[in-house]
Amino acid sequence: EQALREVGSRLSGLTAEEAEEKLAHFGPNEVSQLKRLKPLQDLVKRLKSPLVLQLLVIAAVSAAIGEAKSTVIVSAMVLLSVGLSFVLDRRSSQAVERLGKRVQSRTLVLRDGQETEVRIAEVVPGDIVVLHAGSLIPADVRLITAKDFFVSESALTGESLPVEKTAAVPPSAPATSLELPNACFFGTWVESGTAQALVLRTGQRTLFGALSQRLAEERPETDFDRGVRDFTFLMMRMMLVMVALVFLIVGLTKKNWVEALLFGLSVSVGLTPEMLPMMLTVNLAKGALSMAKKKVIVKRLPAIQNFGAVDVLCTDKTGTLTQDRVVLEKHVDILGNPSEEVLNYAYLNSFFQTGLRNLIDRAILEYADLDTSECRLVDELPFDFQRRRMSVVVEYEGDHVLICKGAVEEIFSCCSRYQIEDEIYPIVPAIRADLFEEVEKLNRDGFRVLGIAYREFGREKTTFTVEDESDLILLGYIAFFDPPKESADEALKLLQKAGVQVKVLTGDNALVTEKVCRDVGLSVERVVTGAQLASLSPEELENVVEEAQVFVKLTPTQKEEVVAALRRNGHVVGFLGDGINDAPALRAADVGISVDSGVDVAKEAADIVLLEKSLLVLEEG
């Protein structure tokens, strides 16, 4: 109610007139994309390159002293090199735009008490939005109601598993706004369930909007830019010295100071490498064409040199080292032994539940294909956030069997017995800790663990309530994981052979990330969390980024800070990312690398776009 009052709304939503007034006040719900220069502005910026400016000065000097031939040659080389790089970069950027997947442009809101479809740009603070599976979250919102509601925040956090969301107010304030269980953010999308939510922030005021504003800042100077600048200044110093010496020598010997000046200027023209910009552009363009054959699109030609000079590659975990999907890895009894009975009961639970199947249910059903023809659904107790479990009652082997699946702690609280093979034992306080050993082991290995329990009833009972989820028999556990890519191990070895260090920067937790790194053969000597980074001074940060290989629970700003610290230490840094949270780091790196399936803002910030999200493609490119 307080939130509704603060944004001037009500549970029935805004009226059409109120929405128009708010739209005029707050502006359209749009996030400004990375500012792209107009063609003329782009050409002027390229002409401001120190090397190009030097050649333009030489062309002017040549014209002043009557060297028409030199003037034409130098001017032609400048125009050809600038024009070629301009055309190729524009073509690459247009290719990336064509790869962009347009997000849905409309959403459902309550206007005048009725569900109305409006453009996302017309959503205003105070709107009540109606969300369902597949919906894009159109703004930063607070949930009012939610049922079986799971949201994919991978674009913001990098975590592949959907996050449970509920309308309940958390008992204590979380460390970051992303951890709020009753809030959803622009740019994420609904994996399953339904909800109504109150719009709090739109456009540039959203979390996504704040990140996108960072992209409007001036790009930092890259290693290639510094190299060209230093070379140009070196040439200019050498030319000044030579022109001064020639001017003095000729002037003192010939006593004709005008002729000495003209001769000195002619020497400066002769010393100028007129063909250098053209040679650079042609070679970079040839490299871009070769890389295109390796599934790599180069948006900015200078990025090729930076790409080849990279000695530290920072990458996210999800989809790069892993397959970016959830699979069922283990089905075990409480002792950790593989159990077909656990798999059978988990399969029946996922198969017969009638709600929207989430990633977990789909992973179970993809893992096995069991015959359910002799089973029949009797009743169902849907998932909710208070119980954190769901049950189906199935007619199975002559009984009505209640099969319960959910969070281990919640399942355990409903159990009075446990089963090992065919034997059933009572749960007594003395062995409760022992029963959790296998769960703790799986959690340490980075698995997401769910409990499976059951209870048998007579066939005469056909109606069930939550109270029947008691006196259950704990059967075992099912463990899920985002498996590593088969190509990751080989790619890491090739990158190491090429002298490239790989550092993992992720928003995921330490246990999962360490498990993935071990599986792909990446040595992990030190893991640093976002909370630890936040307490470091700039000098301490520069030391830590050298020692650590894995950084977990990072915010977008912290990813950018890690990249910047590595660059200050003298490294040429590449960053591979595809999410909204990766955009600041992509822009801060010497070479930002995204993928064709990445969000638009990440591809905008990147210098290079991969047509396949794999370190192997990166190494080949």
pLDDT at residue number 356: 62
pLDDT at residue number 394: 93
pLDDT at residue number 276: 67
Per 3-state DSSP, the chain is made up of helix, strand and coil in percentages (nearest 5) of 45, 25, 30
Q: What does the pLDDT average to over 288-311?
A: 78
Q: What tens digit of pLDDT does each residue of 403-435 get?
A: 999 988 889 889 999 998 888 989 887 777 777
Q: What tens digit of pLDDT does each residue of 352-375 get?
A: 987 667 778 888 999 988 888 889
How far is the C-alpha of 371 from the C-alpha of 200, rounded, in Å? 48
pLDDT at residue number 6: 84
Q: What does the pLDDT average to over 9-16?
A: 89
Order across the sheet with 608-610: list the strands: 296-298, 608-610, 591-595, 573-576, 312-315, 501-505, 550-552, 527-529
pLDDT at residue number 181: 86
Active-site pick, 316, 582, 590, 600 = 316
- Could you give the angle at the alpha carbon of 228 between the alpha carbons of 225 and 234, nearest 5°? 135
Is 578 one of the catalytic residues? no
Q: Is residue 101 scored above 60 in pLDDT?
A: no
Nearest by Cα to 231 from 67, 5, 51: 51
Encoding tokens for residue 210? 């704040």
pLDDT at residue number 290: 77
More confident residue, 384 or 470: 470
User: Please, which pLDDT band fits residue 159 given cuts at 50, 70 and 90?
Assistant: low
How far is the C-alpha of 528 from the C-alpha of 550, rounded, in Å? 6
* Whether CATH 3.40.1110.10 fits 327-481: yes
pTM over 0.75: no
Q: What tens digit of pLDDT does each residue of 525-567 get?
A: 889 988 899 888 989 999 999 999 999 888 888 888 999 999 9
Q: Is residue 120 scored above 80 in pLDDT?
A: yes
Q: What are phi and psi of 244, to 5 degrees?
A: -65, -45
Q: Which of 57-71, 80-94, 387-401 has the lowest mean pLDDT?
A: 80-94
Residue spans of the domains in the chain: they are 2-30+124-201, 39-100+219-284, 290-324+485-620, 327-481
How far is the C-alpha of 380 from the C-alpha of 416, rounded, in Å? 21
How far is the C-alpha of 154 from the C-alpha of 161, rounded, in Å? 8
Fold of 290-324+485-620: Rossmann fold (3.40.50)
What proportion of the chain, given as a percentage, has pLDDT over 70? 86
CA 55 → CA 73, 76, 226, distances in Å?
A: 10, 11, 18
User: Do 608 and 592 touch, CB atoms closer than 8 A?
Assistant: yes
pLDDT at residue number 271: 66
Is the C-alpha dihedral spanning 221, 223, 225, 229 positive or negative? positive
Q: What does the pLDDT average to over 229-257?
A: 80
Q: What does the pLDDT average to over 460-489?
A: 88
Is the C-alpha dihedral spanning 587, 496, 547, 324 positive or negative? positive
Q: How far apart are the first and last CA of the chain?
A: 55
Strands (E) in 442-598, as ranges, are 448-457, 472-481, 501-505, 527-529, 550-552, 573-576, 591-595
Is the C-alpha dihedral spanning 610, 612, 614, 616 positive or negative? negative
pLDDT at residue number 126: 92
Q: Is residue 104 scored above 60 in pLDDT?
A: no
User: Please, which pLDDT band fits residue 143 given cuts at 50, 70 and 90?
Assistant: very high
pLDDT at residue number 331: 94
pLDDT at residue number 565: 93
Q: What does the pLDDT average to over 112-141?
A: 89
pLDDT at residue number 37: 61
| Strand, coil or helix: 213 | helix
Please name the residues in contact with 254: beta carbons below 8 A apart, sequence gap of 6 or more: 260
pLDDT at residue number 600: 65
CATH architecture of the domain 2-30+124-201 equals Distorted Sandwich (2.70)
Nearest by Cα to 579 from 557, 595, 591: 595
What proportion of the chain, given as a percentage, has pLDDT over 90? 21
Q: What does the pLDDT average to over 568-594?
A: 85
User: Please, which pLDDT band fits residue 351 given cuts at 50, 70 and 90?
Assistant: very high
pLDDT at residue number 124: 93
pLDDT at residue number 82: 74
User: Do 118 and 130 touch, CB atoms closer than 8 A?
Assistant: no
User: Do 459 and 491 touch, CB atoms closer than 8 A?
Assistant: no
pLDDT at residue number 597: 65
User: Please, which pLDDT band fits residue 220 given cuts at 50, 70 and 90?
Assistant: low
Cβ neighbours of 463 (radius 10 Å)? 8
Q: What are phi and psi of 258, to 5 degrees?
A: -70, -45
How far is the C-alpha of 163 from the C-alpha of 154, rounded, in Å? 9
pLDDT at residue number 404: 95
Domains 290-324+485-620 and 327-481 share a fold: no
Average pLDDT, the chain: 81
User: Please, which pLDDT band fits residue 218 given cuts at 50, 70 and 90?
Assistant: low
Q: What tens digit of pLDDT does each residue of 501-517 get?
A: 999 998 777 877 888 88
pLDDT at residue number 93: 55
pLDDT at residue number 24: 92
pLDDT at residue number 277: 67
